[in-house]
C-alpha cells in the first residue's frame, strides 16, 4: 500500500542539494544558512476549481504556477528568493504518487530557474480537489532594502514592466516572475514603491495608492495592452483596455519613481511609463480628459 512516507521518500529522491541549505527535506525542520539578518516571507494557496482546473492544466503546470506566483511576490519587493516550503493536499486515488511527482517537477522547473531550493513542507491526501500551498523566503535587495507599497510620493511617475490583460487565455498558468527586472531596476534607480500584478493593474495600483495615502492619474494611451487582451475582447464585450486594467494574473511589476529617475527607467528598457502620482483621487486620462477610475480586479470570495 502506498502511503505518506513512500511519497516523501520519492520526493527526497528528486531533491537537489543547494549551498544555502544545511539540511533539506527529511528531518523535522530544514536548516538554512542565512546571509543577511532580515528575511522576506510570502505564502499563497492555490485550490482546484478556484485557481485552476486540474484536468485542463495538468499537475506540472499547476506546480509551475504555484511556485511562480510566490517568487513574483519576492520580486514585488525587489528581493532575492532563497528557499521554498511546499504543502499539498492531494486527491485520493491511484494516481496520487504520479501527481505529486509531476507537481514537484513543475515547481522545480521555476524554482531552479531562480535559484530557489525546495527545502521541505507537508503532504496529505483527502477526498477533495488538489490544494497546494507554497511559502517562499527571500533576502532584501542589498542596493535598496525591501521596496514597499507605501512609499509612493506625489509627483512620482508610474511604470509597468510589460503588457497586461487576457492572461486567462494561457498566461495565468505560466507566469514569469520579474525577479531579474526588479533587481536591475533596484540597482539602477531609486524605487519609491512597487507591487506585482496579480489581481489586476488598476486594483494592484490601488493598493499602492491606499498604502501610500496618495492618488494617481493613468494615461489610457500609454498602458501596454497584451495581444491576449485584444483576442479576449472579441468575445467578451469589454475593451482591450478594460481587460488590461482589470484581468489580473499578468505578474508584471508596477512601480513608482521620482521624476529625476524617469530617464534612467527609459534607458533601461525595462518598463513603460503609464501615469503620475497625484495628491488624491484615481483617474484615467483619455486624450488629456480625466475621468474617475474605479479599480477592478480579482478578489477571492470569502
CATH 3.30.1330.10 assigned to 6-139: yes
The answer on pLDDT for 67 being more than 90 is yes
In sequence order, the 6+-apart residues with CB closer than 8 A to the CB of 263 are none
The Cα 92–Cα 27 span in angstroms is 25
Please tell me the pTM assigned to this model: 0.89
C-beta separation of 185 from 271 below 8 A: yes
For 188-207, how does the pLDDT look when each residue is reduced to its tens digit (9 = 90+)? 999 999 999 999 999 999 99
The Cα 66–Cα 170 span in angstroms is 15
The Cα 244–Cα 167 span in angstroms is 9
The answer on pLDDT for 37 being more than 80 is no
CATH topology of domain 149-292: Phosphoribosyl-aminoimidazole Synthetase; Chain A, domain 2 (3.90.650)
Give the model's confidence band at 14: pLDDT under 50 very low, under 70 low, under 90 confident, else very high.
low
Say what the pLDDT of residue 29 is: 72
C-beta separation of 213 from 152 below 8 A: no
The answer on pLDDT for 13 being more than 80 is no
H/E element holding 273? strand 272-278
The answer on pLDDT for 1 being more than 50 is no
Structural domain spans, the chain: 6-139, 149-292
Over residues 169-191, mean pLDDT: 95
C-beta separation of 69 from 198 below 8 A: yes
Say what the pLDDT of residue 215 is: 98
CB atoms within 10 A of CB 115: 14
C-alpha cell at 32: 538554512
With 0-12 / 13-18 / 19 or more C-beta atoms within 10 angstroms meaning exposed / middle / buried, residue 16 is: exposed
Give the model's confidence band at 10: pLDDT under 50 very low, under 70 low, under 90 confident, else very high.
low
Amino acid at each position: 500500500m502506498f502511503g505518506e512516507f513512500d511519497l516523501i521518500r520519492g520526493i527526497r529522491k528528486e531533491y537537489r542539494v543547494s549551498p544555502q541549505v544545511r539540511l533539506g527535506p527529511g528531518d523535522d525542520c530544514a536548516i538554512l544558512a542565512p546571509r543577511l539578518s532580515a528575511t522576506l516571507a510570502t505564502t499563497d494557496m492555490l485550490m482546484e476549481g478556484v485557481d485552476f482546473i486540474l484536468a485542463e492544466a495538468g499537475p506540472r503546470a499547476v506546480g509551475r504556477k504555484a511556485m511562480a506566483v510566490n517568487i513574483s511576490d519576492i520580486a514585488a519587493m525587489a528581493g532575492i528568493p532563497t528557499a521554498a516550503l511546499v504543502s499539498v493536499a492531494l486527491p485520493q486515488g491511484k494516481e496520487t504518487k504520479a501527481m505529486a511527482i509531476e507537481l514537484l517537477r513543475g515547481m522545480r522547473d521555476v524554482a531552479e530557474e531562480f535559484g530557489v531550493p525546495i527545502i521541505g513542507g507537508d503532504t496529505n491526501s483527502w477526498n477533495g480537489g488538489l490544494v497546494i500551498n507554497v511559502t517562499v523566503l527571500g533576502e532584501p535587495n542589498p542596493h535598496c532594502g525591501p521596496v514597499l507599497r507605501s512609499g509612493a510620493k506625489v509627483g512620482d511617475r508610474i511604470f509597468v514592466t510589460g503588457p497586461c490583460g487576457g492572461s486567462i487565455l494561457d498566461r495565468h498558468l505560466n507566469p514569469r516572475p520579474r525577479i531579474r527586472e526588479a533587481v536591475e531596476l533596484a540597482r539602477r534607480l531609486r524605487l519609491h514603491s512597487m507591487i506585482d500584478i496579480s489581481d489586476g493593474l488598476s486594483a494592484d495600483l490601488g493598493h499602492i495608492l491606499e498604502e501610500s495615502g496618495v492618488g494617481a492619474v493613468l494615461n489610457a494611451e500609454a498602458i501596454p495592452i497584451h495581444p491576449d487582451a485584444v483576442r479576449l475582447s472579441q468575445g467578451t464585450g469589454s475593451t482591450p483596455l478594460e481587460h488590461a486594467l482589470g484581468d489580473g494574473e499578468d505578474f508584471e511589476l508596477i512601480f513608482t519613481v521620482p521624476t529625476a529617475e524617469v530617464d534612467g527607467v527609459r534607458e533601461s528598457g525595462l518598463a513603460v511609463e503609464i501615469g503620475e502620482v497625484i495628491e488624491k483621487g484615481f483617474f484615467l486620462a483619455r486624450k488629456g480628459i480625466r475621468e474617475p477610475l474605479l479599480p477592478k480586479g480579482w478578489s477571492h470570495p470569502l
